[in-house]
Amino acid sequence: MKTTKLLAAMLVSAFVLPAFAQSTPNLDKREENQQQRIAQGVQSGQLTAKETQHLEARETKLASDEAAAKADGKVTRKERRKLQREADRDSAAIHHQKHDKQTR
C-alpha cells in the first residue's frame, strides 16, 4: 500500500514539476513593476477606483495567460511574444490611466 502511494506521488511529481520548471523571469519582473506602478497611482490619487479595477483585471488576465503558456511545461517563442505584447499593452494602459486628468 505504501509503495503504491509512493509510486503515485513520484508519477504526479514527474508530470507536475516540469510545468513549474519553465520560467519567464523577464515577464515576472515586468508584472511586479506594473503592480508597483498601479499601487503608486492609487496612493498618489492618479488612479480612480474604477481605473484601478480595470488595470488589476488586465494584470490578472496576463498572469492567467502566463500560467496557461506554462501549463505544458514549455513556453514557446510564439507564446513569449504574445505575453510580452500583452504586457506592453498593459503598461501603456497604466501610463494612460495615470496621466489622464481623472483623479480620486
pLDDT at 23: 81
60 in a domain, yes or no?
A: yes
Domain contains 104? no
Q: Kindly report, residue by residue over 5-26, the tens digit of the pLDDT.
A: 544 555 455 555 444 546 889 9
The answer as to whether 36 is a domain residue is: yes
Query: What is the pTM assigned to this prediction?
Result: 0.76
Structural domain contains residue 48 = yes
Q: Which residues contact 88 (CB under 8 A, 6 or more apart)?
A: none
Say what the pLDDT of residue 103 is. 79
pLDDT the model gives residue 101: 84
What is the identity of the amino acid at 61? K
Q: Would you place residue 42 in the very low, low, confident or very high pLDDT band (cuts 50, 70, 90)?
A: very high
Tell whether 92 is covered by a domain: yes
DSSP states along 15-49: HHHHHHH---HHHHHHHHHHHHHHHHHHHHT-S-H
* pLDDT reading at 27 higher than 70: yes
Closest CA to 38 of 97, 100, 87: 97
Residue span of the structural domain in which 95 resides? 2-99
The verdict on residue 89 lying in a domain is: yes
Q: Alpha-carbon distance 68 to 86, whole Å?
A: 14
Contacts of 26 (CB under 8 A, 6+ apart): 84
pLDDT in tens, 43-79: 999 999 999 999 999 999 999 999 999 999 999 999 9
pLDDT of residue 14: 53
How many domains does one find in the chain?
1
